[in-house]
Amino acid sequence: MATLDSLKHALRQKAKATASSPMQLLSDTQYSAGFDILMQGPGWMTYQDFIIPQLSQLLAPLFNSRIHISALEIGPGPKSVLGYLPSRLRQKVRRYTAFEPNGLFAKRLEEWLCSTSETESPLPCLKTPPGIHGIPFALQDSIGRGSSTGTSNNDEKYDIILFCHSMYGMKPKNRFIERALDMLVERPQGGMVVVFHHDGALHFDGLVCNRTASFPTGVVRVANDDEVLDCFARFVAGFIMQDADVDKAIRLDWRNVCRTLGRREETYPDHLLFSLPNIMAAFTQHATTLPELAAQVPLVKGDKTVKNWEACLHRPASIIRPTEVRHVQQCVQWALKHGVGLTVVGGGHSGHCLWPNVVSVDMGAFNQVHILRAGEDGGDSGSDPGCLVVAEAGCKTEDIVRKAMAAGVTVPLGARPSVGAGLWLQGGIGHLARLHGLTCDAIVGAVVVSVDPTCGKILCIGHVPSQQQPAGAVHPENGLDLLWAMKGAGTNFGIVVSVTFKAFAAPTYLTRNWVVPLIDNLDARLRLSEFDKLIARKLHWNCSADAYLYWDAGQLHLGVTMFESSTTGLTFATPTPVDATPGLEDDPKVVDSVSLFETEMYVSRMHGGHGGGKTSSFKRCLFLKHIGEANVADHLIAAVETRPSPLCYLHLLQGGGAVGNVAADAAAFGCRDWDFACVITGVWPRDQDGTEVARSAVQWVYSVAGDLLSLSSGAYGADLGPDPRDAALAAKAFGPNGPRLARLKQTLDPHSVLAYACPLPKTLMERKLIILVTGESCAGKDFCANVWVSMLKNLTARAVSISDMTKREYAAATGADLSLLLSNRAYKEQHRPALTTFFQEQVRQRPRLPEEHFLNVVYSAVDVDVLLITGMRDKAPVAAFSHLVPDRLLEVHVQASEQTRWTRRGFHGGNSDGDDNKDSNNSRSNLTALDCRPNLIFNNDTTGNEAAKRFAERYLLPFFHEDLQRLANMVRPIPDFPRPGIEFRHVLGISQQPGGLALCTSLLQTHFTGDWAKVDALACCEAGGLVYASALASLVNLPLVLIREAGKLPPPTLSVIKPPSHISSLASNDSKEKRIEMERDVVPRGASVVVVDDVLSTGKTLCAVLQLLDEAGVGAEDVSVMAVAEFPVHRGRELLRQRGFGRINIQSLLVFGGA
């Protein structure tokens, strides 16, 4: 799709080529008519999906930190952009000025802002009338310190200055920004100049951005109608012809240009579409501080060319080339001081190593490889790690392989020689991966310059040979966390100076290539299946088979390369495609690790060979299983069929073997369970970089990746960057490790110095509550969820169905109609059995799928206070998932009688809610048979929503009562207790605070969901439980059952073994199991007992207590548990479930951070 910018150039070109008449600027009316077209339909989406959310996010901290805000908008058009911010932000704006040279717009703007009705006024709290100047914002003189802004008061200063709709006509742009920076309020600092601009790039020579964001998918839709096109074309071109006849003629030409470049889509056959990318650049007073850095560290002279074409199009603020670690530290210190980000250049293969208006740190000068044979390490670890390879961060794959090979060793790296540190820090898939694992798996240590507020410390992480440890380096306490993160997400936590790898003996390789022309799609499916089942799956770990699916000479081809590696002797005995397929085989080659680079089929053979830099490419990579199965194979074949240029292809690199031998959470690289890495590769001739051809290839890659995502078992993070189209892939890049990485990013890079690396999941907001609404089919789960959302008035609440994800994946795999599945009950009913089978099969193949689905739903709703999730299929969801999130997780089970459900089903002609559980094994139709009890049960037998509302008032709203927050505030966090690295929450300390015990006891009393009148006794185990239980016992007037260490109570007693509590096992290494006892006859058999404890963490103490009560004749069905605080991360509920106590009602007043 042509961009609006390319349309503008084409229109102007046409006018220049065909008309000699002078040009005339548009009248206000003409401009306004064109602008209105731009803002219609999807044009408005740019505001809705990009400008407004970005601006709200960017400005919220600034607005929150000031009592009043003064704002200047430059070229807002007929409506203030700030007027679309959330009301709590808009209400802060007390002074508003605008420069809007279009008289019509200025008038409309004034009317809008001065609207008399309070609800209509977008800036309702202005202290003075808006100052709207009907002139352009201008520089006065060539020095740039001018002030001819047209205002009577040139000293006016603003907290926020917004260039609303592009900076067209403002040259040089950096001077306009500098002028605006001068107009920011000086004290307090923190004011911002923000630019939104149509088009993909905007350069402000020498100025450094505080934050940037892009919206590459913006689109404008124009009616394919002569009059509309005339109006639109002159708006885009920016002029009309003075001579009326010439203008008439040019209009005809311009309509043709629009129709040639505009894309037509089936859904809007009468419209033309143009791409309208948009960017945001935000500056603070620190934007001009580059000279300060340049005075300390060496800069790259002239233009730096990196490998990646996209990065080459970006113009960074500057490129620093440190030659000493000290320089890297200075870069970090400068970035932290001025609140700006940095990018880092390794091998230069990613599109984001250079980023517009951001300073880039080129590590090219750190280009040494050191080989340390066993015993030469000089390290202080005590054990000899064998031969090590230390690669500095500017090394390329070939540098390492070549130097290591000379020493008879190797590191399992990637297939291309020029790729750099981004590969080993984020994964590293190569021909030795099946034998030795990914490159990141071979990392044993690293030297990193930290980007946390300690200002660029040099950290030695893991095992770094002593001779490679820079002077002043420290071994951080969180070294294990950092080493874990380096292995897969290592570009996000510091600037890496060097990496230490364990080395392996250098092998010799045998490579063989086959190319199989495919007759048709059926043949293609068959060959892929044969390749997968008969060849790839049979290979030993020292062999791998890569496949290429590509079109050449008008025909689809399957290319296969087989690699065999050996340090002793090659066998030549691997299965070959020849056994299965009539293919053309190349000469087999026996090569060493360096010559191996030249054997790549892509370089040497496909499309006549891609070597020599004739082409550019764009790649995204997903991990797939079962590529030979029809649903996957068909997607792959269809993907290549839709390629926008002949050179695009799919590359399937074999995984398995040692890659999958590492547990998903053992390193940050969490995607381990896959057979092939599918690299979707968009290719075009290099001289077409930045053109429509390149854009279509990029779009193809994203659209294929989007289609394959639901079939995939993860995405490769190594190529992903700040492009918003990468977000969906990045969400699948780290398997189950997202929450841990999010937390690490927050502590290790809290100011987002490395803001442009592979995006990590965001830490979840301190959300208050996630409610899992479960229940039988037609019990009314969705109905209830919606009623409860409406009850949570002062909070942001949302109800979502987790089963939509399965429906999406099912639709992608089977071709079922997704929109019907989501919205049409009859259609869904028809597919229900198949959907259930599909889900069960998925879970069989990917046992962690329910966890993935849960996290996806949670992460896609980080903006809400309360998230209600329906459609859950899991038996014990709170026990299974609460440790994954920092929120309180609650299961509310909705039940209704058979009769009611039957009536509802009949009445609605199907299920009354979005339930997909009917046929699943996990249908929780018989509550008494459940091995895990929901936190709350709602009986939804009555019609109307009154009962659901009352339930919310009684049981849900109390979670938001301020008393609970007061109680939480009394729990003091104590860092590094009882051991360094542990943050202790002093729950018992509540009782030491004035009013603490009374508050806690009263909350225990009111939050109990049972009936105190039916309770016979409270039980508690010393010491923590005793404090709260005694106070509560006195309040509810019940006797206590004391449980103490053996030997402290008079006989006869009952006793069981109690393992040490979580905290005492941390405090001392020799904590042993102890016996606990209770008096035998203190409670009658069958009595109803509430166990009270201060903390529920691992659940071991509680298990022992429950066991003891059981021995006393008080069974699980007669027990409830009230805990003051729960720590889900220790999975206490899961242990209780496993020990048969899942049916016990457990309530906790407070919940402290699971993930």
Contact positions toward ligand FAD, by CB under 6 A?
Answer: 343-350, 352-353, 363, 393, 414-416, 419-423, 425-430, 491, 495-496, 718-719, 757
CB-wise, 7 or 438, nearer to ligand FAD?
438
H/E element, 519: none
Cβ proximity to ligand FAD, 344 vs 964, nearer residue? 344
Amino acid at 420: G
Q: Is there a contact between 196 and 159 (Cβ–Cβ < 8 Å)?
A: no
Of 358 and 409, the one with the shorter C-beta distance to ligand FAD is 358
Please choose, from the candidates 786, 782, 780, 791, the residue with its C-alpha nearest in 3D space to the C-alpha of residue 950: 791
Residue closer to ligand FAD, measured from CB, 429 or 872: 429
Closest to ligand FAD by CB, 47 vs 716, is 716
User: Which is nearer to ligand FAD, 498 or 574 (by Cβ)?
Assistant: 498
Amino acid at 31: Y
Q: Residue 978's CB: how many other CB atoms inside 10 A?
A: 13
Question: Would you say 359 and 471 are in contact if contact means Cβ atoms under 8 Å apart?
Answer: no
The residue whose two tokens read 């050449």 is 552
In the complex with ligand FAD, which residue's Cβ is closer, 633 or 718? 718
Q: How far is the CB of 357 from ligand FAD (least distance, A)?
A: 16
Which one, 495 or 1063, has the nearer CB to ligand FAD? 495
DSSP lists the bridge partners of residue 888 as 769
Pick the closer one to ligand FAD by CB: 195 or 423. 423
Instruction: List beta partners, residue 747.
Output: none
Residue 245 C-beta: closest distance to ligand FAD, Å: 54
Q: Which is nearer to ligand FAD, 183 or 562 (CB)?
A: 562
Query: Please, which contacts does 182-186 make with residues 24 or more away whose CB atoms are closer than 8 Å?
Result: 182/145, 183/72, 183/149, 183/156, 183/157, 183/158, 184/157, 184/158, 184/159, 184/284, 184/285, 185/70, 185/157, 185/158, 185/159, 186/157, 186/285
Instruction: Kindly tell me which of 332 and 344 has the beta carbon lying closer to ligand FAD.
Output: 344
CB nearer to ligand FAD: give 3 or 450.
Answer: 450
Smallest distance from ligand FAD to CB 563, Å = 12
Which residue matches tokens 């700006």? 340
Nearest distance in Å: CB 619, ligand FAD: 6
Q: Is the CB of 438 or the CB of 1087 nearer to ligand FAD?
A: 438
Q: Do 396 and 369 contact (CB within 8 A), yes or no? A: no
- For 93, 110, 1144, the CA distances from 107, given in Å and listed in that order, are 20, 5, 67
In the block, residue with structure tokens 């048709």:
520
Minimum gap (Å) between residue 397 Cβ and ligand FAD: 8
Q: Which is nearer to ligand FAD, 332 or 952 (CB)?
A: 332
Query: Which residues of 120-267 form beta strands (DSSP E)?
Result: 131-133, 160-163, 192-198, 211-215, 219-223, 239-241, 263-265
CA angle 559, 564, 568 (to 5 degrees): 165
Task: Please report which helix (H) or strand (E) contains residue 246, including its range.
Answer: helix 244-261
Residues in the chain: 1155
CA distance 365 to 342: 17
The minimum distance between CB 415 and ligand FAD, in angstroms, equals 4
State both tokens at 52. Answer: 């407004």
Q: How far is the CB of 298 from ligand FAD (least distance, A)?
A: 17
Q: How far is the CB of 785 from ligand FAD (least distance, A)?
A: 40
Distance of CA 407 to the CA centre of its chain: 41
- Specify the residue, 327 or 416, whose C-beta has the smaller distance to ligand FAD: 416
61: amino acid identity, one letter: P
Q: Which two tokens stand for residue 912?
A: 């009354």
Strands 160-163 and 192-198: parallel
Closest approach of ligand FAD to the CB of residue 695, in Å: 18
Residue 488, amino acid: G
Q: Smallest distance from the beta carbon of 586 to ligand FAD, in angstroms? A: 20
User: Would you call 1129 exposed, middle or buried from its count of C-beta atoms within 10 A (0-12, 13-18, 19+)?
Assistant: middle
Count the neighbouring beta carbons within 10 Å of the beta carbon of residue 782. Answer: 20
Nearer to ligand FAD, 170 or 391 (CB): 391
> Minimum distance between the CB of residue 635 and ligand FAD, rounded to whole angstroms?
22
Asked if 738 and 857 touch (Cβ cutoff 8 Å), the reply is no
Work out how close the CB of 179 gets to ligand FAD at its nearest, in angstroms, rounded to a whole number: 32
Output the smallest distance, CB 343 to ligand FAD, in A: 5
Tokens 């001392």 appear where?
1068
Q: Which is nearer to ligand FAD, 109 or 677 (CB)?
A: 677
- Residue 1126 corresponds to which tokens in the numbers above? 């729960």
Compute the least distance from the CB of residue 396 to ligand FAD, in Å.
7
Give least dist CB 75 to ligand FAD, A: 34
Sequence-distant (6+) residues with CB within 8 A of 542 are 434, 435, 507, 564, 565, 566
Query: What span, in angstroms and rounded, lies between the C-alpha atoms of 443 and 499?
Result: 7
Q: In terms of CB distance, is 47 or 676 closer to ligand FAD? A: 676
Long-range CB pairs of 179-184 (<8 Å, 24+ gap) are: 179/139, 179/144, 179/146, 180/72, 180/74, 180/283, 181/283, 181/285, 181/287, 181/288, 182/145, 183/72, 183/149, 183/156, 183/157, 183/158, 184/157, 184/158, 184/159, 184/284, 184/285
Taking the complex as a whole, the smallest distance from the CB of residue 276 to ligand FAD amounts, in Å, to 27
Q: Which of 1036, 989, 995, 997 is nearest to 1016 (CA)?
A: 1036
Count CB-CB contacts under 10 A for residue 526: 17
Task: Write down the least CB distance from residue 651 to ligand FAD, Å.
Answer: 9
Q: How far is the CB of 533 from ligand FAD (least distance, A)?
A: 25
